[in-house]
Amino acid sequence: MRQILFVLIVFSSLDVAEDFITDFEYGQMLYQDPHGASCAACHGETGGGEMIGEYTDRQGRIVALNGPDIRHATLQQIRTSIHTGKGVMPRYFLTDKEIRTIHAYLHQVNAPKTFGISKLFSAQKKNNTTKSAE
């Protein structure tokens, strides 16, 4: 029992809460469900826009209602849209830190992919396959 109490005291004295998820994961969580509403529902999984629905206008034409592409929106554009609402988008009450985290997530998830380990291994595999076919 003393050991458990000791461990609890040690962990409670450390600021470990921030270490449980990364900033990217926090941004993704906020983007997927910021206080009960999903940015992704209208703006798509990575901010590229999504069809929200369709409606019939007064002339009887079917019109698609699309969420805009926000992949390249500035922090100020996102902040303004969240705080004031825009078009059919309602206002949201997010902190500045939450908005900055969502903005950073969008930029990170849409950043050009670098030459990573998985590409290196697939390139090596391709070279080995080519050599064995010769």
* 33 vs 104 pLDDT, higher one: 104
Query: Residue 48 above 80 pLDDT?
Result: yes
Predicted TM-score of the model (pTM) = 0.66
Mean pLDDT of 60-68: 95
| Residue linked to tokens 């005291």 | 9
Residue 36 token pair: 């009960």
pLDDT at 108: 94
Domain ranges of the chain: 15-133
pLDDT at 118: 46
Query: Residue 129 above 50 pLDDT?
Result: no
What are the angstrom distances between the C-alpha of 123 and each of 58, 111, 112, 133? Answer: 56, 22, 18, 15
**In the CATH scheme, what architecture does the domain 15-133 have?**
Orthogonal Bundle (1.10)
Tell me the percentage of the chain whose pLDDT exceeds 90: 57
Pairing of strands 62-66, 51-56: antiparallel
> CB–CB of 39/32 below 8 Å?
yes
Confidence band (pLDDT; 50, 70, 90) for 33? confident
Query: Residue 10 above 60 pLDDT?
Result: no
pLDDT at 36: 72
DSSP states of 28-80: HHHHH-SSS--SHHHH-TTSS--EEEEEE-TTS-EEEEEPPP-TT--HHHHHH
